[in-house]
Amino acid sequence: MNAMTAMRQYQSVNTQAQAIEASPHRLIQMLIEGGLTRLAQARGAMERNQTALKGELVGKAIAIVGGLRQGLNVEQGGELAENLDRLYGYMTTRLMEANLKNDPVILEEVSELLREVKNGWDAISV
């Protein structure tokens, strides 16, 4: 087993352990962090013309945004949840467009939006 494989295995186990022990608030933070990581990785793959990898990473980012969207409770969250639902829908559309057009500017736009959500989420004390 090479060092990179060992490191990935460690990270996988470590992340799974963190998720099991995490509060719902922390799980959302972890999802957002994962989305930001996938977007940064997708930008790098795009810059290196690694089309398949870029598509895979953008797909993972779309799935994460979809998970955030599915986790919304519009009944309890009211207008805020409705606004987040629309924002997540917009992000998904833009990510598909970024993948199709190979446009890093769109990836950065979605990253900035996700960072804004993260900042708001991080400000919530639990």
* Domains of the chain and CATH, by start: 23-123 (1.20.120.340)
- 3-class DSSP assignment, residue 18: helix
Count CB atoms within 10 A of the CB of residue 113. 16
Q: What is the structure's pLDDT at 25?
A: 84
pTM, entire model: 0.83
Separation CA 54–CA 32 (nearest Å): 19
Closest by CA to 43, choosing from 105, 85, 86, is 105
Where the chain has pLDDT below 70, the residues are 1-21, 126
